[in-house]
A and B are shown apart, each in its own frame.
Chain A
Amino acid sequence: MSAVQVAWLPDGRLHLNHGPIDLVIGIFGAERAVAAAFGRAIARFDGLLEELVAELPALRSPKVLPLQGAIAGAMAAAVAPHRPAFITPMAAVAGAVADAVLAALVGPGVARAYVNNGGDIALYLAPGQVLRCAVAQAGVPGLVTIRHSNRVRGIATSGWRGRSFSMGIADAVTVLAANAARADAAATMIANAVDLPGHPAISRRPAVELQADSDLGARLVTVAVGPLTQAEVALALDRGAQSAKALRARGVIAGAALFLHHEVRILGQMPLAQTPEPCLG
């Protein structure tokens, strides 16, 4: 069985891999503090997957079951606001892992840091610090600027083109929230809501036919989206925007950007700048 893989990227970022988890971590601050913080991140990552696997059946269940681990608990908390709709704690796994590693690495002398778990990003900002993150989609190179005062510490993206399955047709939904787990779960749910049920141009297959032990079971997930009229795109985005709006009104998310076929809807706090700057994630 493979163990944790630790690799340094040429620009000083850290790449951690274990099984399905890939983290890219950037830490900024005093040299010694950064080195120590990377050490803490690696230490936290060691054994993290085993911790999740120990409770995998409960994490894949839509039922509310007792959970032991800290990350499992964070996953459950992140998906709770979306019930009674169908959701399992796995909808927040990537974000919750990013949050956990970020929490472990923060320490004295760290000015800012991010843990990017395949597009689900947990952020740390010391007072006065700013972090810019590119949200590029279908020719819309946008930049999100997160400040210490923003209270946003999680960014997550979901959509049928991504690695996880989606029941909706959004190319991508990017969500800003208080932490990455919350953003992850909300992005999943909003992306599911961007949909045109029964539309002939949309191909769907049961999730189990694509991945035998998917937590989505026999539920249909999107595998292809054909051409849609402008009105259809608008209708699908409206449905997603409605879901995002409701989540924002309840304080679950801070903002969201919904992308479908070159159309974008932006809700709430999603300060997109059009200046292309280097992406930190």
Chain B
Amino acid sequence: MTGDKIRCDACPVMCYIAPGQTGACDRYANAQGRIVRSDPVVMLSRAVEAGGRLVPFARPDWDGQLVTPEDAFVTGIGAGTTYPDYKPAPFIVASKVAGADMVTVVTEAIFSYCGVRVKIDTDRHLGPEGAVVRAGGEAIGLVTTAEYGSQMLSLGGVRHLTGGSKAEGRATCATELALCNGEAVELAIDGGAAVVVQVGAAPIVNGVCEARMRVGCGSATIGMFASGWRGLVDEVVVVDDHITGVVSEHQAGKVLGWQPTGIRIKGHRSTPGRYFQVSEPGLGWGGTKLTDPLEILGPWNPDKGARPGLTLLMVSTTGEDHGYYVLDEALVAQPRPLPESLRATVRLIAENCEPSLCSVLFSAGAGGSLRAGVTRNPVRLTRSVHVGITRLTCGGAACFVWPGGGITFMVDVTRLPPGAFGYVPTPALVAPLEFTLPRADYLAMGGHEGAIRSLAQIEAEGAEYATAGQVQPWPGALP
């Protein structure tokens, strides 16, 4: 599609850069398919400013190493694994951290139980909760509980990886892998939208790239900007699929002395000036299916303040959609061009929106047999992780560990180095995993003491993949 151009993500411009070219900034270039800085880096001064340690180089006694042992943390990326797991993990490394003798057990774990949680910053209706999410026609997950300003997908997991057809498992594995490694995937939601998801990039919903996340719900938008509309317009309605706000009735408007306008909103009134379900979820104004916002208004009530000439601003929660109306003699709202003074208030809403992004958390269970690669008493490792003695990291990235049984963790995939995830044809995902704990605690939990090696030994010897567990012919059996 873009040939051998690559997309630079150094700044929001996201230039496509062909080999040998620089981006719009002239600072980042494409050198043989890699993004490089084309001017001197300022890491040294930054390190000094931050009080960091410098490694002198090009001196007679310099050993040519950029990274000193004190700075090194061994991650599980590319560590390989040792199946069956009662064998010690391939790397059990001793190092000093702040004077304490630490042991890091490093492995690449094969996760049959793993999935991704995807957060998509948009109010557009991607599909009903519980709807099936498909990749290449195969069911790979579902739409789950929406969050504030974001739609959530839960993808993968054991039931799709190995519980369905082979095609379903392959599609699930490929999608999870692509998302975790930062690639774009196309998803189709039953009864909903087609969406392109890539971690750190804006979602593309039905071919339209989302620009902004909403500033807040309709009620919050009223709360934030009510004072700015004072004196410029008689009524403001912020259209939002969740809570539509009406300034003259809203607490924020009341405090500012806003007069009643006799407006009537179709929908369920929650508290004054806040309405649920004014329309249905969709791809229109504020995550509703509205293209004409007047559809949510009932007849204006002259006994409650409606009068000819009354002015009305209707705006979405991103400022992307807006309309300005004036009541005619028959108290019918007639569209009029938006006055410049109000245009500034709409821009202010837009300005306060954050860019719409996709984020991906990898979620997996490390509570199984891989624990035996760490210790002969697997449950002690689980307990040690839960009480915080053993630190669990995934490719060096901090993990959130779910309370309760097992070692079920979640990690932000952008915190791992590129290409950290792999797969096996089972199908299952392969991810790096490191358990770090004080040496004494490691030995106390029944750790593989004989397998502990120093960083220097590891560098010299490489991984330890035990081969003693070979299948021997049964004595007396025929060859």
The residue in B15, B24, B212 that gathers the most chain A C-beta atoms within 10 A of its C-beta is: B24
Contact across chains for A53 and B12 when beta carbons are under 8 A apart: yes
Cβ-defined contact, B12 with A50, below 8 A: yes
Q: In the complex, what distance in Å separates the CA atom of A55 from the CA atom of B351?
A: 13
Identify A54's interface contact among B21, B24, B200, B355, CB under 8 A: B355
Which of B3-11, B119-127, B232-240 lies at the interface with chain A?
A: B3-11
* Complex interface: chain B residues within 8 A of A69 (CB): 347, 350-351
- Tally of chain B residues near chain A (CB < 8 A): 28
B11 and A18 form a contact (CB under 8 A):
yes
Q: Say yes or no for B198: interface residue by CB 8 A criterion.
A: no
Residues of B contacting A19 with CB < 8 Å?
10-13, 24-25
In chain B, residues 6-30, which have Cβ atoms closer than 8 Å to a Cβ of chain A? 9-18, 21-26
Q: Does B211 contact A (CB under 8 A)?
A: yes
Tell yes or no: A149 within 8 A of B by CB.
no
* A236 on the B face (CB < 8 A): no
Take A19-B12, A69-B350 as given contacts and tell me if A50 and B355 are in contact as well, using a CB distance cutoff of 8 Å: yes
Set of chain A residues within 8 Å of B18, measured between Cβ atoms: 209, 212
Is B373 at the interface (CB under 8 A from chain A)? no
Considering the complex, which residues of chain A in the window 178-214 have a beta carbon less than 8 Å from any beta carbon of chain B? 209-213
A47 and B25 alpha carbons, distance in the complex (Å): 17
Taken together as a complex, chains A and B put the C-alpha atoms of A2 and B22 apart, in Å, by: 17
A/B pair count, beta carbons within 8 Å: 66
B90 to chain A, nearest CB (A): 35
Interface assignment of A70: CB less than 8 Å from any CB of chain B = yes
Question: Chain A residues near B281 (CB, 8 Å)?
Answer: none
B22 touches A211 (CB 8 A): yes
Interface of A is mostly: loop
B320 in the interface (beta carbon within 8 A): yes
Contacts A54-B212, A69-B347 given: A212-B13 contact, CB under 8 Å?
A: no
Q: Which residues of A contact B115 (CB under 8 A)?
A: none
- Distance A55 CA – B9 CA, assembled complex (angstroms): 17
Contacts of A56 in B (CB 8 A): 13
Let me know if A212 and B347 touch, CB within 8 A.
no
- Distance (Å) between the CB of A113 and the closest chain B CB? 22
| Interfacial chain B residues near A70, Cβ < 8 Å | 344, 347
Q: Are B347 and A68 in contact (CB under 8 A)?
A: yes
A49 near B350 with CB under 8 A, answer no
Q: Does A262 contact B (CB under 8 A)?
A: no
CB closest chain-B residue, reference A208: B18
Measured in the bound complex, the distance between the Cα atoms of B15 and A211 in whole Å is 9
Please tell me if A278 contacts chain B, counting CB pairs below 8 Å: no
B209's closest neighbor in chain A, by CB?
Answer: A57
- Of residues 67 through 115 on chain A, the ones whose CB sits less than 8 Å from some CB of chain B are 68-70
- Residues of chain A lying within 8 A (CB to CB) of residue B13: 19-20, 49, 53, 56
Does A163 reach chain B (CB closer than 8 Å)? yes
* Cross-chain contact of A20 among B9, B21, B23, B344 (Cβ < 8 A): B23
Chain B residues, Cβ within 8 Å of A47: 351
Contact with B along A10-39 (1 / 0, CB 8 A): 000000001110000000000000000000
Per the bound structure, the CA–CA distance linking A183 and B195 in Å amounts to: 42
Assuming A50-B355, A54-B355, what are 13 further A-B pairs, CB within 8 angstroms?
A1-B11, A1-B12, A19-B10, A19-B11, A49-B11, A49-B12, A68-B350, A70-B347, A211-B15, A211-B22, A212-B18, A212-B21, A213-B15
A-B interface, 5 closest residue pairs, ranked by CB to CB distance from nearest: A19-B11, A20-B25, A54-B211, A20-B24, A53-B12
Q: Can you list 11 A-B contacts (CB < 8 A)? A: A1-B200, A18-B11, A49-B11, A49-B13, A51-B350, A53-B355, A54-B212, A56-B13, A68-B319, A163-B26, A213-B16
B residues in contact (CB < 8 Å) with A: 2, 5, 9-18, 21-26, 200, 211-212, 319-320, 344, 347, 350-351, 355
